[in-house]
């Protein structure tokens, strides 16, 4: 093989290899990120479940006492979502809105009225044909699993 072809081959092969490696990194990143987010959401749901029985306290974000958004804030931060905001209305703006039919365990349920979002809960799945959620409802109650009391809510996700 002439020297010029050997030199060209030696220069082109490393460039081709770098191009393939860089392209493969970008090709697999979204799927890997989605899998990581799924694991984090399920970890957050596990943390939420572990808080069942803890008392409600307005303005509390754990450990041991929670208001509704404090429960979400505490649980999702423990699961590695470092940028979750503190209040339910901020969390509603932060989460990606999804169709109710697309919800998966660990997604969020945002309750609203004429004044905006006033409550947040974590979707826990279906029981007896009804959606269930885990939430910190209000003073005198404890974190528990329940069904929504109204249809005035929308779904959000951090996946």
Question: Does the active-site annotation cover 145?
Answer: no
Question: From the candidates 40, 119, 131, 159, which is the catalytic residue?
Answer: 119
Taking each continuous run of H as one helix and of E as one strand, the counts in the chain are: 3, 6
Question: From the candidates 45, 47, 68, 95, which is the catalytic residue?
Answer: 68
- Domains defined along the chain, listed by start: 3-157 (3.90.1720.10)
Rounded CA-CA distance 97/69 in Å is 17
Question: Does the active-site annotation cover 144?
Answer: no
**Would the pLDDT of 17 be above 60?**
no
Question: Does the active-site annotation cover 68?
Answer: yes
Compute the radius of gyration of the chain from its Cα atoms. 23
Q: pLDDT tens digit string along 33-59?
A: 989 999 999 999 999 999 999 999 999
Task: Give the orientation angle of helix 3-50 with respect to helix 68-78, to 10 degrees.
Answer: 140
User: What is this structure's pTM?
Assistant: 0.80
The tokens 């945002």 sit on which residue? 110
Helix (H) or strand (E) holding 130: strand 130-135
Question: From the candidates 45, 135, 153, 159, which is the catalytic residue?
Answer: 135
């Amino acid at each position: 093989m002439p020297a010029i072809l050997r030199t060209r081959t030696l220069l082109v092969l490393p460039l081709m290899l770098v191009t393939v490696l860089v392209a493969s990194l970008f090709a697999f990143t979204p799927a890997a990120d989605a899998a990581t987010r799924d694991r984090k959401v399920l970890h957050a749901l596990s943390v939420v479940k572990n808080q069942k029985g803890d008392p409600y306290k307005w303005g509390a974000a754990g450990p041991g006492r929670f208001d509704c958004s404090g429960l979400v804030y505490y649980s999702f931060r423990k699961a590695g979502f470092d940028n979750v905001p503190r209040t339910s209305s901020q969390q509603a703006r932060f989460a990606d809105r999804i169709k109710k039919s697309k919800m998966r365990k660990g997604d969020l349920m945002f309750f609203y009225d004429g004044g905006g979002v006033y409550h947040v809960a974590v979707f826990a799945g279906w029981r007896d044909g009804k959606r269930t959620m885990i939430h910190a409802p209000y003073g005198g109650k404890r974190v528990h699993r329940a069904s929504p009391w109204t249809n005035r809510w929308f779904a959000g996700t951090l996946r």
